Amino acid sequence: MSAPPARSPSSAALAQLRQWCEQVLAAVHQVFGDHPPAPAIRQLCRQVLEEAQLLLARTATVAVSVVLLGRTASGKGWLARCFLRDPALRSAIPSGQNSADRSAHLLWIGPQPPPQREEGEQYLPASAEQMLDLGVPYCLGDAPGFSTYGEAAERLHRRALASAALKILVLPQESLRDAGVVQLLRQLPAARVLPAIRFRNQPGQTQPREQTYQDVLHHYQLWQQAAPATRLLSPLWIPDADCYAPHDPNQAITYTQKLLQDTLTPLLADSQQRQQALEAEIHARHEQLRRSVEQHLEEFRQRLQPILAKIDDTLYSLPPQLTRQMFGEDVPLAALVRVRLRAHIFHYTPPWCFPYRSILGLLILTSNAWDRLIFTLTGSIPSLVAVVWQSWKNVRTMGKAMARQRLPLAAYLQQQAREALAVPLQRLRQTLAAWRDEEVRPEQDSYQEVKVRIAGLDEFQNRCRSLLEQTLAEHTARRRSPWLFALFATLAFLFFFSGPVVVIYRQYIETLWQVFRGEPVSWSDFPRPDFSMIFTSFILSVIPVALIAMIALTGFTRRRLVEHLASSFRQKIDAVTKQWQQQAMLRLELHDPQWEAVQRLLHLDGVAAERKPPESASSAAAKPPPSES
């Protein structure tokens, strides 16, 4: 299977413009309906999209489109005749100072007609041999003067602007101060415009006077400042036919034809540059449309600014508040850190450290009831009940602390977000309804209609658990390992408990030695220690171990240390929350049709920022007029 053909950059720019217009029109319908400024925005989008489609369609043909622009009676018709070699065809082009000699139509001249012609566009067939040789096939358009009034003439003039990638602006030297020139250039963002200056001089002179040249240079710079997006090319100096050769008009045509060949042939020969210029012009029309739509929405933006600021502030400030509830405030977080520290001590105590490890687990289970535990050993029933009750409470606290960081908090946090966004969102709906002259909906149970989603919450929970483990690991890495206390407690237990064991074994070995020597020995001669003695010895040996375990557990989970670790962990959570918010990894997404439509209308530059015009088209600076050499 063959791969689909690659889409040209200009086609991609047009597709992006079409998609942008569809999104804007859908948002306009959602927000305004048929009320202002919806009709004006629809007209703008429709007009710019049609012109961009026409520009792409008429520049995608084999023949390159070139259009002549200018005011009425500026000499466009005479310059159009210079593109023809056949004198019979020249006479078919309207040209002259009288109104009867002027054309109110858009006349196309070339080997084939342009596509998508409309009423008011005429076509004059001319073969390539009958036209001036510019190196490539081309189609010439002679537009009606932009000073011609009327809706039909205005539409034809706009179609002429959108019909060619190269525009030739014909200007007599008397029209340099015309304000309509600046208005015309502003309608051609990123378009290549070749000013053709018709000047008056002595017969046979091909260069203007110094004063005329300086005057053109001054206005050329003013045009660049007034229309910086337009790509003004170096001007073409065309002598007035009546002054150049008053007795032989063909001499002026011959000279102008040579001048046109030398200037236009290199401009039309580079097809890649033409494509880049076309793409840049579509992008510029897109950007111009965006600014026009923003102007129509300025009043709407100002009216909604307080409500939007409140909603934006809620959407940004609410996630950190909600994430703090993941581990609770200071007391629940300290309880979690204390539980993790106790679990760390118990985990890193070797199993052979008997009875230290068992006593450590018992002390962890009976935390906050050690005094009752001591009285329980004396047989106190109330103390036993108190120890059991406290142990059950400790188990519940540890379970809640461990389970809190694994709870599915999405539903709870979403409910909190809905309640916080209900009031400002209801105000937004009321404002939009008032703008459309619709009945305002009641505020009852408005929060139930708010749909929010906390994006990245699961990943954030996993990251926070890793931070907790990292914080505890950094702390324990700087401390002595718990097994040192275990080793010391185990040695102390063996030291105290070894006394009775050594005595018993010594008596047992002595009696056994008498047996081996053949002395008379009875069963009663072997040592028979009482259980009370063994139990008493064990209790006396365990007491130092319990004291060491209490000291170790108290030192590892002292309040100041727990508060420090909880504060450090809290700071890391806040830093990660801020970082994830800045990178949009943790965000509160509001799913509301009207809110999304308003955001799309008030953030039109977000779409434009993703579009990047070609480097050659955007960075190419307009060249000033050459010197009078």
User: pLDDT higher for 519 or 223?
Assistant: 223
Q: What is residue 265's DSSP assignment?
A: H
Nearest to 446 by CA among 470, 428, 473, 468: 428
| Burial of residue 65, with CB atoms counted within 10 A of its CB: 0-12 exposed, 13-18 middle, 19 or more buried | buried
Of 200-214, 298-312, 324-338, 390-404, the poorest mean pLDDT is in 390-404
pLDDT band (50, 70, 90) for residue 622:
very low
8 A C-beta contact, residue 407 and residue 451? no
pLDDT at 611: 37
Nearest to 16 by CA among 229, 281, 283: 283
Mean pLDDT, residues 9-28: 91
pLDDT at 387: 57
Of 88-92, 429-433, 440-444, the poorest mean pLDDT is in 440-444
pLDDT at 463: 85
Q: Is the dihedral of CA 220, 225, 227, 232 positive or negative?
A: positive
> Is 150 in a helix, a strand, or coil?
coil
pLDDT at 379: 55
Instruction: Quote the tokens at residue 165.
Output: 């990638």
pLDDT band (50, 70, 90) for residue 471:
confident
Domain ranges in the chain? 63-270, 302-608
CB atoms within 10 A of CB 19: 11
The CATH number of 63-270 is 3.40.50.300
User: pLDDT higher for 613 or 59?
Assistant: 59
> Is 193 in a helix, a strand, or coil?
strand
User: pLDDT higher for 596 or 448?
Assistant: 596
Q: For the chain, percent helix, then strand, then coil, each to nearest 5?
A: 65, 10, 30
pLDDT at 539: 79
pLDDT at 445: 43
> Is 577 in a helix, a strand, or coil?
helix
Nearest to 73 by CA among 153, 161, 172, 151: 172
pLDDT at 396: 66
pLDDT band (50, 70, 90) for residue 617:
very low
> Is 106 in a helix, a strand, or coil?
strand
Mean pLDDT, residues 474-496: 77
pLDDT band (50, 70, 90) for residue 625:
very low
CA distance 309 to 320: 18
- In this predicted structure, the answer to whether residue 373 has a pLDDT above a threshold of 60 is no
pLDDT at 546: 83
8 A C-beta contact, residue 98 and residue 163? no
Of 21-35, 350-364, 444-458, 576-590, the poorest mean pLDDT is in 444-458
CA distance 13 to 196: 30
pLDDT band (50, 70, 90) for residue 200:
confident
- In this predicted structure, the answer to whether residue 355 has a pLDDT above a threshold of 70 is yes
CB atoms within 10 A of CB 585: 14
pLDDT at 628: 39
CA distance 84 to 450: 69
Of 53-57, 106-110, 314-318, 410-414, the poorest mean pLDDT is in 410-414
Mean pLDDT, residues 460-473: 82
Nearest to 184 by CA among 82, 275, 74, 270: 74
CA distance 48 to 285: 7
H/E element, 43: helix 38-59
- List the alpha helices (DSSP H) in 227-270: 241-244, 249-269
Radius of gyration of the CA atoms of the chain, in A: 45
Instruction: Quote the tokens at residue 382.
Output: 């109330």
CB atoms within 10 A of CB 557: 19
| Chain-centroid distance, C-alpha 201 | 58
Mean pLDDT, residues 170-186: 86
CA distance 468 to 449: 37
Compute the mean pLDDT over every residue in the chain, rounded to the nearest whole number.
79
Instruction: Quote the tokens at residue 283.
Output: 């992008």
* % of the chain beyond a pLDDT of 90: 16
Nearest to 146 by CA among 68, 83, 92, 218: 68
8 A C-beta contact, residue 454 and residue 414? yes
- In this predicted structure, the answer to whether residue 390 has a pLDDT above a threshold of 90 is no
pLDDT tens per residue, range 267-283: 888 878 878 888 888 88
8 A C-beta contact, residue 177 and residue 71? no
pLDDT at 154: 79
Mean pLDDT, residues 565-578: 85
pLDDT band (50, 70, 90) for residue 432:
confident
User: pLDDT higher for 459 or 440?
Assistant: 459
| Chain-centroid distance, C-alpha 43 | 29
Instruction: Quote the tokens at residue 184.
Output: 């015309």
User: pLDDT higher for 4 or 206?
Assistant: 206
pLDDT tens per residue, range 37-78: 999 999 999 999 998 888 888 877 778 889 999 888 788 888
| Chain-centroid distance, C-alpha 328 | 32
Contacts of 245 (CB under 8 A, 6+ apart): 203, 204, 251, 252
CA distance 576 to 238: 68
Amino acid symbol at 482: P
